[in-house]
Amino acid sequence: MAAAQQQQQKEGGARRTREEVPAVGRVAIIGGGISGLAAAKQLAAHDPVVFEATPHIGGVWKHCAYRSTRLQTPRPDYEFSDMAWPNRDDPSFPTHVEIVDYLEDYADRFGLWRYIALRSKVVGVKFLGGPSAGFTELWSGSGEPLQGKPMWELAVSSTDDPDSDDVQLYKFEFVVMCTGKYGDVARMPVFPPGKGPEVFKGKVMHSLDYCKLNEQETVELMRGKKVVVVGYKKSAIDLALECAEANQGEGGQPCTMLVRTLHWVVPSYSIWGLPFFLFYSTRFSQLFYERPNQGIFRSLLCRLMTPLQKAGVSKFIESYLSWKLPLSRYGLRPDHPFVEDYASCQMAILPDGFFDMADRDLIRFRRSAGGWCFSENGVVLDDGTHVDADLVFLATGFEGKDKLRSVLPEPFRGLVVNKSSMMPLYRGTIHPLIPNMAFVGYVESVSNLHTSELRCRWLAGLLGGRFALPAVEEMVRHVDGETEAMRRTTRFYRRHCISTYSIHDSDAMCADLGSRVHRKSNFLAELFAPYNNQDYKEE
């Protein structure tokens, strides 16, 4: 009874969302996921409006998760600096349901619901600052994020009907984009005429659509079917495991994973009995990896240490993974060093029982590095091999940047990515050529929550006048240097991932804010202890 009363109180009182949105405001936040909530908390002094398109907060954890989806980061490494998990000593990886509950509790604790407008989808953005803004010596013309006048007009719809005229216009001085890289827009493979889904007699479904089904519907969909899962990243692995679980017993069929690009998978955050953070998440371990805009001495040091990184640390980790997992038996051992997957945030944590299902022949693997296409009864690999299928799942990812392109006006729409297919963001937040706007949640790391929270704190400092941005040209050089550092570290550098220099990245933001850079209690801890969110509690 007490729990029911508490829930009723939350829904009727503490969780009362924003009822009125002013026609002219200071700060708009688009998206109610992790980044949007962090931005709302940090920018509360500006009475922000959080436009969330759906009836719920939580982002991908609410709308793009399977029933078996779990976090890939240990619980204590995925928490806000000012709100620890109540059960942070629990060694299990949190489920997506636990994460949504945690985010809702965060909104409760800091009174964020009053900023959130649910069922409010931003369908268009118009720039009000004139044709020259964005192409000036200083960002936004003057370098000021808040200029005392509206700079953006947002068109917001409260209905899912694309033909509805129920669109309201609101003006803001500053806009924070937190729509995320995942969900909403599916990445679909392109096929030559006559070789796409139109010739297949079975059913084709993207993982985004699969997320919308309940457990009973997923089992009924896959049970007794010949299923092909295209992909070999986290969502594909989870989907294949759920397919295998649904097909246990009489009448069940094996699930075939169609693997195009191999990546390293990890069963746990322990390597030969050593904690994983020792290899990449301490200040000492990150000393030997490329970082943006480093000096000549560090560049020389990193080049000298590259053989040790790849032949030493990477080989040490690879030896454990090859011993622990049947990668060679199934043809799943990548040719590239482990560090290249870690440096591009491509490493996936294996769910329990994945290779057990493969050993029981409920999950099979087919390699198709050169491509594939559909046939009437299944899929055809590049070597001519035919795989029968009744159901094909496309776990081919998402086009988060297309969400931005769909609402941003020209010429900004064409500036979303650079020639390396990355978003050119200074401090992972400010696009040098898009004025009075910030982007949070488009940089990846071992803990995306920490990455977003610290950027939102940095953004609050910028809007609060604690520091000023450098000139546009200097910001562009910095962004180019970041791209170059990633390019030298991994062949998969087209993902904006900071995992091998995350501490240096945090140092730079702390320095901008005038906060302490070295945040440990002593010299040894500073060098050899891992950094996490609790080290960045506000002073």
Question: Rounded distance, CA 123 to CA 127, Å?
Answer: 14
Report helix, strand or coil for 517: coil
Q: At what angle do helices 96-109 and 34-42 cross, to 10 degrees?
A: 10
Print burial letters for 56-68: b (CB count within 10 Å at least 16), e (below 16).
ebbbbbbbbbbeb
Cβ atoms of residues 258 and 421 within 8 Å: no
Residue 83's contacts (CB-CB under 8 Å, 6 or more residues apart) are 105, 106, 109
- Residue range 461-479: mean pLDDT, rounded: 95
pLDDT for residue 3: 45
Residue 423's contacts (CB-CB under 8 Å, 6 or more residues apart) are 401, 416, 417, 431, 439, 442, 496
Q: Predicted confidence band at 71 (pLDDT cuts at 50, 70, 90)?
A: confident
- pLDDT over 60 (residue 10): no
Sheet holding 372-375, edge to edge: 372-375, 378-381, 386-388
Q: At what angle do helices 448-463 and 34-42 cross, to 10 degrees?
A: 30
Question: Rounded distance, CA 81 to CA 533, Å?
Answer: 5
- pLDDT over 60 (residue 101): yes
- pLDDT over 60 (residue 2): no
- Residue range 170-183: mean pLDDT, rounded: 91
pLDDT for residue 162: 55
Cβ atoms of residues 80 and 533 within 8 Å: yes
Q: Classify residue 148 as left (phi > 0), alpha (psi -120 to 50) or beta.
A: left
pLDDT for residue 161: 61
Strand partners, 177: 30, 439
User: Percent of the chain, pLDDT > 90?
Assistant: 61
Q: Predicted confidence band at 6 (pLDDT cuts at 50, 70, 90)?
A: very low
Question: Rounded distance, CA 511 to CA 429, Å?
Answer: 16
Report the range out of 9-13, 202-206, 209-213 with the highest average pLDDT.
202-206
pLDDT for residue 5: 38
For tokens 């457990």, the residue is 215
The pTM score is: 0.92
Task: Give the model confidence (pLDDT) of 48-65 as tens digits.
Answer: 999 999 999 999 888 888
Run of H or E residues at 153 = strand 152-157
Q: What is the mean pLDDT of the chain?
A: 89
Nearest to 203 by CA among 405, 262, 213: 213
pLDDT for residue 14: 63
Question: Rounded distance, CA 434 to CA 416, Å?
Answer: 9
Bridging pattern class, strands 167-177 and 203-206:
unpaired
CB atoms within 10 A of CB 368: 19
pLDDT for residue 183: 67
Helix, strand, coil percent content, the chain, rounded in steps of 5: 35, 15, 45
Which of residues 12 and 289 earns the better pLDDT score? 289
- Residue range 234-244: mean pLDDT, rounded: 93
Task: Give the model confidence (pLDDT) of 179-203 as tens digits.
Answer: 988 767 888 899 999 999 999 999 9
Q: Which domains does the chain have, with CATH numbers?
A: 16-184+398-499 (3.50.50.60), 195-266+324-392 (3.50.50.60)
pLDDT for residue 447: 84
- pLDDT over 70 (residue 218): yes
Task: Give the model confidence (pLDDT) of 326-336 as tens digits.
Answer: 999 999 999 99
Reading the block at residue 400, the tokens are 């988060």
For tokens 């017993």, the residue is 249
